[in-house]
Structure 1
Amino acid sequence: MAENNIHEAPAWLTEDYVEKELCRYFGDDSLKLKKLGIVPATAKGDNYASVMTRIHVDYSSKDSKVLQTATFLVKTTFADKDPAANLLADYGVYTREMDIYEQILPHLGKMVRDELKDSRKLFAATVNVDRERDSILFEDLSLEQYKVACRLKKLDLEHTHLVLEKLATFHAVGAVLAERKPGIFDKNYDRGFFNKHVRGYEPIYKNLLQALSRSLELNKDLKERYQGKIDRLVGSIMDYGERSAAVNPGDFLALAHGDLWTTNVMFQYDGQGHPTNAILIDFQFSVWNSPAIDLHYFFSTSIQDNLRWKHQPELVQFYYYKLVESLKKLKYSRPIPNLFDFQLQFQARAFYAVFSSLIFEPCMLYTGKEEASIAQGLSPSESGIRFRDSVYSADHIKEKMVFTLPFLDQFGLLDEL
């Protein structure tokens, strides 16, 4: 990624604004901001759906003569002229995430602490939700030594088990919250990457699949076996995707994270380097759906290949028993599927693994020099085509497709469904 490909901080993020929000957060009107430092928290391409800015503050108050320091993160939308802004707005992602941080996560966090007796954090604390500016200000967890694992190396079994444990907790408390507060997820929680309302991502999916097809020209065996299937998939990706995300009678449903991959999880470690906690971040695509969509997405994008190719059923089993344990502690009264039925539910959502593996994962693992953005996925320009081709021409992606395509094909997921 080019080093100068960074998003500028929003113009409204001024000293006056930050001082006002800090006074509100700390409940101290005497607080005075002495210094404000603003730096980008992510480069372009590190996050395809938002802009992250880190702010460093020095402040004082009447109760403390010593200068205090703190760091926070500000999450904002793209500029109005960015092609991503309109696309993401159609999916309701900004309103939804503000709702989640303001209205949902406080309930879920309390249930985890009080009823599951787990004192570990599950989310970052919210400082302020600003709906006028479509922004969220929250604590910077890097100060507690939380960090993101390497998206290229992916997660080993120890990290994977911890994420599945925390994901099971998240799904359980979301399901119980819906039971206790009927209708809480009825509005704006039905627009994931595939849904019945909007197809804004369709040209991106098609453009990237076409780039994948072009890349197969360089491998005679893969071309003969899979290029025709990928070409047919271009015209069917949205129909199959919507079918895989449809809610079926009898399904166990919960609040799914919707975008669970390596960089949307942060880990805390002990002195020996073992992960002791994992928190979930970035809830823009959270939806009321089957937990299986999170599992497929996570397995396809974030765990080491050996775990994915050889151990998926037992990882689903590990997750399932953690889910059931939490649901029982929370006294969930609706039917809990047995493991056999839950594995069937996982299989019924299997097409989610196709778009995750063939479209999203290559972009997530991108290390090339072209600008990586939603705009580049949409654009018919030479630059857009060059970016998409470079995604699939990378050696590590070409090597991965040798295993990914047969893995998906053995389940019939590349045939007409």
Structure 2
Amino acid sequence: MLPVKNIDTLLMQTYGPDFRIHDVEWKHLTDPGENFGSIILAVNINAEHNDKKRTLNVVVKLPPRSAYLLELFDSPLTFKKELEFYSMVAPEFLKLQNESGIPRESLSVIVPQFLGGRLGLRDPQCFDEQAAIVLENLKSYNYITQDRIVGLDKVHMNFAINHLAKLHAIAIGLKLKKSEFFKKTVLSCLEFNLQEVTEKATVDMVQKAHNDYKNMEEAETYLDRIEKTIEYGFTQTVTPKEPWATLVHNDFWVNNMMFKYDESDKPINMKIVDFQLTVYDYGVNDLIFFLISSSQKEVLDNHLDNMIDFYYDSFIESLKSLNVDTNAFPKSQFIEQLNQCAPIKFNQCIMMVQVIQAARGSVSQTAAEDADESVFAGGIDDDNYKQKMLHVLYMFDRKGWLVK
């Protein structure tokens, strides 16, 4: 049985009342342990639309089943945010680019196409376990995800950085040019409410990472600064100054982007997915986490500053294409924000190593669905995990981002 009830009424939001489903096939799209914030299904649909037969390949996102994960991800709020983002905000991103005179072939279609959604089955405006978001299945258009354990090479890093800069710039363009829509619709997608269970899980994961550092001989000389930086991350906040604040994805790493290639395996397009955790903040927060979490070691070692510069240049170029005055976005302020926010991002960087470097196949489907606080693993006996933890530390030290 397809776990999604009344999928036909969801698809009628795009295809109209004449849409009829004949049969469906479905499977889990992601392996257990690759995504905890939702259940993601690949659904192939044979249907009839305006008396013509058609086949649809779609992805359906459902809330997680485990009570722990529902609370951890604050699913009633995060599902609503993501549904509103795909249905109301993403179309405005395209519209703004069109209105700015960007030619069709240069438009940034940052996200997969939205085909239908609801917060609940009993009441479409009220969250229940049948909350659903239906999107085009990017895999059927030859988009693929890269390997989270290996990380991205320089070509992929730059490609993703360029798209991230465009996402941030377009959100700012929308804020400056359509301020009423931004206040009313976009800001509600960026609400953030820290649940008690989420705060506890974050503290536990950071504490585990901290304990792991204490058991690594190579980290011994850094322990005092590690402790101070962790404490700083939990107690300090940076209030973004306008006009810099933007839509921050807040979970921008390898698993939340998909790439498409030409015949020579060069990336020609990419889409960003998973907009559950979006917040209103400085764009550098996404950049720092992405660089540290997703880059291959040698790329980070040799090109970190170049990638930071490339983000800024792409961001300014994108603002210009939207006819935004870029004098309000000087590089000196950007670098200041980067150095201000980086120590606070240390906690996210070290806790997410446990997820990103988790050994493949270490979580079963049942464990993923019945997850409790023990689900996020990773330990210093796993060499990938240990080396990544040390590398994060060395990068923060090199950039002067550890608190003294």
Give SS of 1:390's match. coil
Change in Cα spacing, 1:318 to 1:237, as seen in structure 2 (3 Å) is closer
What is the match of residue 78 of structure 2?
A: 93
Q: 1:8-407 alignment to 2 at 5 Å?
A: 10=3, 13-14=4-5, 17-29=6-18, 31-61=19-49, 63-64=51-52, 67-79=53-65, 81-89=66-74, 92-115=77-100, 116-117=102-103, 118-119=106-107, 121-132=109-120, 133-182=130-179, 183-184=183-184, 185-191=186-192, 198=195, 200-216=197-213, 218-222=215-219, 224-230=220-226, 237-240=233-236, 243=237, 246-249=238-241, 252-333=244-325, 335-367=327-359, 370-371=362-363, 379=373, 384=374, 390-407=378-395
TM superposition shift of 1:48: 2.2
8 Å contact kept, 1:252–1:337: yes
Give SS of 2:21's match. strand
What is the match of residue 3 of structure 1?
A: none
Q: Deviations over 1:61-89 (max 9, x none)?
A: 4532xx4222111111112x420112322
Alignment partners' CA distance in 1, 2:348 and 2:46:
42
* TM-score normalised to structure 1 length: 0.83
TM superposition shift of 1:398: 1.4
TM superposition shift of 1:93: 1.3
8 Å contact kept, 2:111–2:271: yes
Q: Deviations over 1:378-411 (max 9, x none)?
A: 63xxxx2xx6563443111212333322332345
Change in Cα spacing, 1:256 to 1:402, as seen in structure 2 (3 Å) is closer
Specify the code of the residue in structure 1 equivalent to 2:198.
Y
8 Å contact kept, 1:409–1:415: no
Give SS of 2:188's match. coil
* TM-score normalised to structure 2 length: 0.85
TM superposition shift of 1:127: 0.5
Specify the code of the residue in structure 2 equivalent to 1:22.
L
TM superposition shift of 1:20: 2.9
Specify the code of the residue in structure 2 equivalent to 1:189.
L
Alignment partners' CA distance in 1, 2:368 and 2:213:
23
Q: For the aligned residues, what is the CA RMSD?
A: 2.8
8 Å contact kept, 1:9–1:53: no
Alignment partners' CA distance in 1, 2:255 and 2:360:
18
TM superposition shift of 1:353: 3.8
8 Å contact kept, 2:253–2:294: yes
8 Å contact kept, 1:257–1:285: yes
Structure 1 stretches of 5 or more lacking a match? 1-7
Identity %: 20
What is the match of residue 124 of structure 2?
A: none
8 Å contact kept, 1:324–1:336: no
Specify the code of the residue in structure 1 equivalent to 2:212.
S
The count of corresponding residues between Structure 1 and Structure 2 is 385
Alignment partners' CA distance in 1, 2:225 and 2:353:
19
